Structure 1
């Protein structure tokens, strides 16, 4: 009997993850009929965040470690239940690597290895593991993450954020190495966000084991677009005492007030010279990643 496989689509943020999650949820019944159990983000995020919180508590006092152990003994069995089905399993959740607010100090997914090690505690030994990961150019990725974080958090000013991330070279290779630390036996499948539309059917079939031609298509209009430069900067300038529920609703108002009408309306905190430097770093890192023998790099048809 063929060994069952656990496939983890771990992001990264702002690389059509929401689109894929909606697509998979739309086709959940069809996937189940073909033998795949898809656990949507809504079933994963809260449980994993609780488990991560307990892992963090374990680093502190003896009393907190004891409390963490008690809570962990309730949480981890629920996570293990995701993987106990006798079928292939797919999870899609970008917060497994980290959250958008983790980027404020100038690092990219600084806790990825520890977070995935936390998840690894729930993985069974009798199933193989695959990681599915989309990467994106540094300036576009970081600008999008900043915009998303501004909906829920008090963020650094755009200029300060840009200065902290102006030299990102090596960040994506380091993330891959961190994944390897946490899940050394996992098979890695990686692609470039710019190629996604041309290779989408290959990604779908690889992640699900089902041909995209057998699944129902999803309209892109169902997915919330990014906010404009003016909306994001106005949201970032809100007083620090405004908490996330009000901040989120303020952003909805700002998006309506300052919609994206052309490409120049898209948020970017970088100068022209910074962007050129960051794009060059991305291209070098992408080539290094694509050349690695321990990675299945899914290249675009146009390249």
Structure 2
């Protein structure tokens, strides 16, 4: 049985993908595809996997969680599940941690090494979605305001625009932590609005349902929504720029620098990623000469030009 760990990242339509999987669980299981979402992964299946206390107690926790995992995997295999997708983007960190640290998933290696251990060598594939850094950070900044954090300051904006750590570094750390596991990278600009295509690329299973495949969850709040949130909290909405639509905290030069960093990441991936990961930058529909459904897959972009250039 393939055990496929979908790591997110955040702000790459992970919540919409998880909704699609839950909404189609019966149909997917008939195709031999099972699903553990964040609730199962955090609260039921993996209870106790977060290490605390002494070294001995941590080892006991890991052993207990590993036994629990193996038992669950054996049970679902007996039900005819050939591909299990485990999706939990918080495995690799959180948006707030990234914004606070001014970098992309700085602890991903340590986190993934511990997480993979409790699967007892059963993980077949890791799937990471990436997104152009200017849109990723804009979306994270808006989400953090929605969740009670102050609007990002100009110094933080400049630090993000000049950050040295990019997706290439995230992928390298991930590969170093679990060198024996295949890593698949799916750009948001290709797969963000098509969860069934994302799942097909993960598993190789065809004939997947499209029911609930175009439902969008957990979008970043717009500027008007953010101003309303700040006002209701008694904070000054004037810290945000005027206008409507997406909040871009970066200026034009900063946006171009972040987009160039993403282009460099994609170039490295297309060149083979030093053998560490495989880039999947075309859907099955495109390979077959069919156009994927025209949908809001480019949501969050300033216009359509960026997707055509980067995807």
| TM class, shorter-length | 0.7 to 0.9
Instruction: Show CA shifts across 1:44-68 (max 9, x none).
Output: 13468865642xx35xxxxx44554
Which residue, 79, 82, 104 being the options, matches 1:108? 104
1:186 lines up with 2:181 in the alignment: yes
Deviation string for 1:219-254 (max 9, x for gaps)?
53452422012443665x68xxxxxxxxxxx68xx9
1:23 equivalent to 2:20? Answer yes
Aligned to 1:215: 209
TM-score, scaled relative to structure 2: 0.75
- Cα separation, 2, equivalents of 1:48 and 1:112: 21
- In the aligned structure 2, how far is the partner of 1:108 from the partner of 1:214? 32
SS at match of 1:220: coil
Taking a change above 3 Å as real, the CA distance of residues 156 and 224 of structure 1, as seen in their structure-2 partners, is closer
Of stretches 152-161 and 115-124 in structure 1, the one that deviates more from structure 2 is 152-161
Q: 1:282 aligns with which of 251, 262, 266?
A: 262
1:10 is aligned, of 1, 7, 23, to 7
Q: 1: distance between equivalents of 2:261 and 2:88?
A: 27
**Cα distance, 1:166 vs structure 2:** 1.3
- Note if 1:130 corresponds to 2:125: yes
Where do 5+ consecutive residues of structure 1 fail to align?
Answer: 59-63, 239-249, 258-262
CA contact (8 A) 1:116 1:183 kept: yes
Give TM-score scaled by structure 1 length. Answer: 0.77
Give the match's secondary structure for 2:12: coil
Given that 1:169 and 1:278 are in contact with CA atoms closer than 8 Å, whether structure 2 keeps it comes out as no
Cα offset, 1:153, TM superposition = 4.6
Do the aligned residues in 2 keep the contact of 1:45 with 1:95 (CA within 8 Å)?
no
What's the offset of the Cα at 1:40? 1.8
What does residue 35 of structure 2 align with? Answer: 38
Q: Which residue of 2 aligns with 1:226?
A: 220
Q: Which whole-Å CA distance do the structure 1 matches of 2:112 and 2:6 have between them?
A: 12
Q: Secondary structure at the match of 1:83?
A: helix
Equivalent positions of 1:257-276 (< 5 A) are 264-276=244-256
Counterpart in 2 of 1:247?
none
Counterparts in 2 of 1:152 and 1:51: CA distance versus 1, 3 Å = farther
Match of 1:61 in 2: none
Residue in structure 2 matching 1:160, options 155, 163, 176: 155
Partner of 1:139: 134
Shift of 1:152: 3.0
1:96 is aligned to 2:86: no
Query: What RMSD, in angstroms, separates the aligned Cα atoms of the two structures?
Result: 3.2
Number of corresponding residues: 272
* Distance in 1 (alpha carbons) for counterparts of 2:165 and 2:57: 38
SS, match of residue 140 in structure 1: helix
